[in-house]
Amino acid sequence: MVEMKKAYLWLMTLTFIFIFLNPASAELLPVGSPAPAFKITSGDGKALALENLKGKVSVILYETKDIVEKNRPLKKALTDFSASLPDNVKPNLIAVPVINCTGAFWPFTSVWQSGLVDNSKKEGLTIYGDWDGKMDKAYGMKDNDSNIVIIDQNGVIQYFNAGVIDTKETGKVIGMLKGML
């Protein structure tokens, strides 16, 4: 009987830990909160941290490699918007595409790095990897989804959404960016 009580207590403890401390239950960070610090690295070793973005409006697109096409219309609209900006304003807007690379493990890490380099060339901008998952956890990114975070010049989150961004929402995002620049 004592052994059964011990087993029951262990089971209840493990259930508590799984349900209440599971990192997958994280919520998107609220708009108006300070952006958590992060450090991400491109396939060719370029590091980027939150402090590198101070003074700029940053659009972070955080995805897994399997769903990068999910918000292609949003990405095209953001690219077109950026290209339409006056030359003196363009440096104030930074696109930060990030792939969750926590699935990369030796000996396949170099394959992931090469993939980031190749796709960076194809897309015409540097794609970064969240290799240790710290950015994912700090921001509460939705797993296996397309996450968009807009951080203002002061390091404050102004927009955070996950999932497909439709045409109407894309217009709101572009309008918000116009107002911030």
pLDDT tens column, 21-65? 444 445 678 899 999 999 999 999 999 999 999 999 999 999 998
Q: Which helix (H) or strand (E) holds 57?
A: strand 57-63
Residues 6+ apart with CB under 8 A from 9: none
Look at residue 19 and tell me whether its pLDDT is greater than 50: no
Give the 3-state secondary structure of residue 179: helix
Look at residue 180 and tell me whether its pLDDT is greater than 90: yes
Residues 75, 61: contact at Cβ < 8 Å?
A: yes
The percentage of residues in the chain with a pLDDT greater than 70, rounded to a whole number, is 85
- pLDDT at residue 9, as a whole number: 42
Residues 6+ apart with CB under 8 A from 125: 95, 97
Eight-class DSSP state of 56: S
Sheet holding 128-130, edge to edge: 47-49, 39-42, 128-130, 93-100, 57-63, 147-151, 157-162
Look at residue 175 and tell me whether its pLDDT is greater than 60: yes
Q: How confident is the model at residue 106 (pLDDT cuts 50, 70, 90)?
A: confident
Q: Mind listing the domains of the chain with CATH numbers? A: 27-180 (3.40.30.10)
Q: Which residues on neighbouring strands pair with residue 175, listed in sequence order?
A: none
**Lookup result for tokens 């973005």:** 53
Look at residue 8 and tell me whether its pLDDT is greater than 60: no
Residues 141, 25: contact at Cβ < 8 Å?
A: no
Q: How confident is the model at residue 108 (pLDDT cuts 50, 70, 90)?
A: confident
Mean pLDDT, the chain, integer: 87
